Amino acid sequence: MIAIIDYDAGNLRSVAKALERAGEKPLITCDAQTILNSQAVVLPGVGAFSDCMNSLVSKGMDKVVKACFEMKKPFLGICLGYQMLFEYSFEHAQGTNGIPGLGIFKGSVKRFPESAELKVPHMGWNTLKFAKASPFFEGLDTETYVYFVHSYYVDAEDRSLVAATCDYGITFDAAIAGDHFLAMQFHPEKSGDVGFKLLSNFLKVVKGS
């Protein structure tokens, strides 16, 4: 069973439907034991970083996510569910202090620089460039299009984590991956056949773990 963490994120249902299309029957839940006993865990998210972190903490899901990583449970993070894995975000932060994230990985979440040529948020289809080989990307072209909606981007400190990048005024970290986890800024549930392939690959990793 694939558990989708329920912390009132706006895209829970669309992610669940995408996983169903890929052949899985996910369960949307905030029950800690159910999540910890699942085959794999998905953390989606849309909206403001601080609101999502507050909701995650209020439901005790911050501890559950950290436990999943300690257990090396297959894990998929999407959009804010990717950003929150890092140490802090400068979204709506006061002064120079960032808003704390889960701190599972070192790095921060920054706003795209202002530019007359580029609109913020970064919204729509853009090219994904793979930075390293991963079973999550099996069967995908070297450069492929996926769907983004975000004003802030991850800047990962450990460059060996970075699995894919994208260019939008700057080159930013579009995805990270390890043996048991994949987390991405873009939305696989909105990325057509490419998104379907990514989710299918994730499920293959889950079933092979």
Examine the residue annotation and report whether 187 is marked as an active-site residue of this protein: yes
Catalytic residue from among 24, 150, 166, 187: 187
Confirm whether 79 is a catalytic residue: yes
Q: What are the distances in angstroms from CA 35 to CA 101, 148, 168? A: 20, 27, 36
Query: How many whole angstroms from its chain centre is CA 91?
Result: 17
From 12, 11, 58, 67, select the one nearest 35 (Cα to Cα): 67
Give the tokens for residue 181: 């986890």
Strand ranges in 69-180 using DSSP code E only, listed in sequence order: 75-78, 86-89, 99-100, 105-111, 122-130, 143-150, 152-156, 162-168, 170-177
Contact between 73 and 108 under an 8 Å Cβ cutoff? The reply is: no
Catalytic residue among 68, 79, 91, 150: 79
Give the rounded distance of the alpha carbon of 194 from its chain centre.
16
| Distance separating alpha carbons of residues 19 and 22, to the nearest angstrom | 5
Question: Is residue 91 annotated as a catalytic residue, yes or no?
Answer: no
In this structure, what token pair is assigned to residue 78?
């999407």
Question: Of residues 24, 52, 68, 189, which has the active-site annotation?
Answer: 189
Residue with tokens 């034991």: 33
Q: Catalytic positions, please?
A: 79, 187, 189
